Amino acid sequence: MGDAVELEVGGRTVRLSSPDKVFFPERGFTKLDLARYYLAVGPGILRALRDRPTTLERYPEGVGGENFFQKRAPKNMPDWIPTAHITFPSGRSADEMCPTEVGAVVWAAQFGTLTFHPWPVRRDDVDHPDELRIDLDPQPGTDYDDAARAAHELRAVLDEFGGLRGFPKTSGGRGLHVFVPIEPRWTFTQVRRAAIAVGREMERRMPERVTIKWWKEERGERIFIDYNQTARDRTIASAYSVRPRPHAPVSAPLRWEEVGVAHPQDFDLATMPARFAELGDVHADMDDHRYSLESLLDLARRDEHDHGLGDLPYPPEYPKMPGEPRRVQPSRAKKDS
């Protein structure tokens, strides 16, 4: 696998063992290629991860091997990488790593971390999200272009309800993510409620193209707005994260004029460094903004008062939540009735 190498990263020395270990056989990318990628996009991924409790998606033997999600900070983590204490819906808790410098990202890459999954909170306030994250998830029969069309309508919805500015990025797969920086003064439950309001408004505007139906049997060939990605302990791959697919795609931040023009296959471990060198982080000013959710929460209240549209089901591993409807798929509910 070759002798270990040492990389200088912002004043830190990070040791990389087995640098020639192939992580992406289809492309021939090695562990060293992965580490150098994260060095090349360092300011961008650090902007996405800074001070956020972060789950590591690890593939120690590369994309063809076993993988796992590491929520708890590794015992061998250097003392210069801080942590935050977070609580899961089950009531259990853990200390998660919170990158504050690029060296932490490269250190994680040494242990086979391909994708970084940050919480939408900062370590100084882990109960109040500072991002509203909208996940546009193509269902069977739809594709990225359908998600892009929905994203442009989403942009209009966000602007109409509070003058919110969304920052779009590819998921690294077929979907799109739109992140909105918000004031950290609402709970996870309230932020999720705002995401549901967005989804319902999108359904009204694009009923044949967009759905917020939780049960797959009801979604049809539409883009699913996964509102539960805003629930506590649900995370979305960060901008610039490498995704565990054979061609080594990355989650690419986009300018709005690129949505529907650029495609996910344009961005991978080989091409993103050149784009970053030319354009820098196209979401670099994201942290300069903080928006209010009041208009969306007002919309949620009107939906409930005027149309009886209350809460929606949580994921199956969550405890029953106050106000949540019966958590059973419609076809089974009919059989039981």
**Predicted confidence (pLDDT) per residue in 130-146, tens digit:** 999 999 999 999 999 99
Residue 101: per-residue pLDDT: 97
Residue 279: per-residue pLDDT: 98
Residue 142: give the domain boundaries. 131-234+289-307
Residue 6: per-residue pLDDT: 96
Same domain, 295 and 181: yes
- Within a domain: residue 39? yes
Q: Can you read off the two tokens belonging to residue 77?
A: 């983590």
**CATH code, domain with 230:** 3.30.70.3300
Same domain, 121 and 136: no
Of the candidates 126, 143, 172, which is a domain's last residue?
126
Residue 1: per-residue pLDDT: 62
- Within a domain: residue 251? no
Residue 332: per-residue pLDDT: 83
Same domain, 150 and 121: no
| Cβ-Cβ contacts under 8 Å for 266 (sequence gap 6 or more) | 252
- Can you give the pTM of this predicted structure? 0.96
Q: Can you read off the two tokens belonging to residue 108?
A: 């994680």
Same domain, 137 and 218: yes
Same domain, 22 and 121: yes
d(CA 2, CA 328): 53
* pLDDT tens track for 69-112: 999 999 999 999 999 999 999 999 999 999 999 999 999 999 99
- Within a domain: residue 23? yes
Residues of the chain with pLDDT under 70: 1, 335-337
- Within a domain: residue 149? yes
Residue 315: per-residue pLDDT: 94
Domains in the chain, number: 2
Residue 45: per-residue pLDDT: 98
- Within a domain: residue 144? yes
Rounded alpha-carbon distances, angstroms, from residue 145 to 137, 170, 175, 203, 282: 11, 11, 9, 18, 21
**CATH code, domain with 92:** 3.90.920.10
